[in-house]
Amino acid sequence: MALRLGSRGSALALAQATYVRERLEGVGEEVEVITIRTSGDERPGGAAAPENDDKARFVKEIEEALLREEIDLAVHSAKDVPSLLPDGLAIVGVPQRVDPRDALCGAASVDALAEGAVVGTASLRRRAQLLAVRPDLDVREARGNVDTRLRRLAEGGYGALVLAAAGLARLGRQEGEPISEETMTPAPGQGCLALEARAEDAVATGLAARLTDHDALVALTAERALVEGLAATCHTPVGAHARLRGDRLVLDAFAGMPDGSEWIRDSATGDARDPAALGRAVTERMLAAGARELLGAAERSVAR
């Protein structure tokens, strides 16, 4: 019987599901990809929901299909998965991470943008960090899938766009110059895939484990611990990026106002054998520096 792999139906989601399917077939499994329409897909013209929308919209219906045993394994963009999962479900695999950075399309660098340039993004996190370093920029909301946004860029609708380097790579697009993590801390989980299954499903869990990359799993664990500790929501601009340095793990974090007027950055190093502990430690440092109050103000500003 074929393993049933659940995925959203967007071009990017299907590219990710195809990658996982091919890896599973490489270890001798027969795989059927089942596409599931999620609440995040229910947007005018089929546009994907922006990063600051409720993350659960991207995964809710897929998780319900898992719980109903209609699929065996789900493929998500890790940055779309809320920190708290439904009872009975677990992230059981994290394949090798691709470039976690954001990418600037239409200009060589953030510094190279003309004064007052119009920059498109659907992300509060990206908006906050762009305006933190370049308050002169005119940052506007960019809707639609990757192809739609790039077409609007080519037509002159924006001077530049910020997109995930990982998404561009998975779609085979050559556009975009990576933005350094020092300038723009990536979204937690960006560049990672999260494989989700029923916790008691030993077969799916075992197969997902065979696809798991140790470094990606360690980094994602630290980043998700930070998100949970900060109680970050879809309306709070938060970045987190972890990477291994031998047996040590470095975690960078960002929290800020959407208009770039205030922000907190932090970085700490911990034992790679306990990535969640590092995530919690950076959380405490961020909270001590005023992150709770800052993120509360950010959420209120978005609600207005």
**Which residues are annotated as catalytic?**
80
End-to-end CA distance of the chain: 51
Q: Is the dihedral of CA 303, 222, 48, 51 positive or negative?
A: positive
CA angle 192, 79, 96 (to 5 degrees): 5
Give the closest residue to 75 by CA, choosing from 147, 1, 162, 13: 13
Distance CA 236, CA 252 (A): 17
Strand pairing report for 118-121 and 138-141: parallel
Contacts of 202 (CB under 8 A, 6+ apart): none
Distance CA 304, CA 295 (A): 14
CA angle 207, 210, 211 (to 5 degrees): 100
Q: Which two tokens stand for residue 94?
A: 């994290």
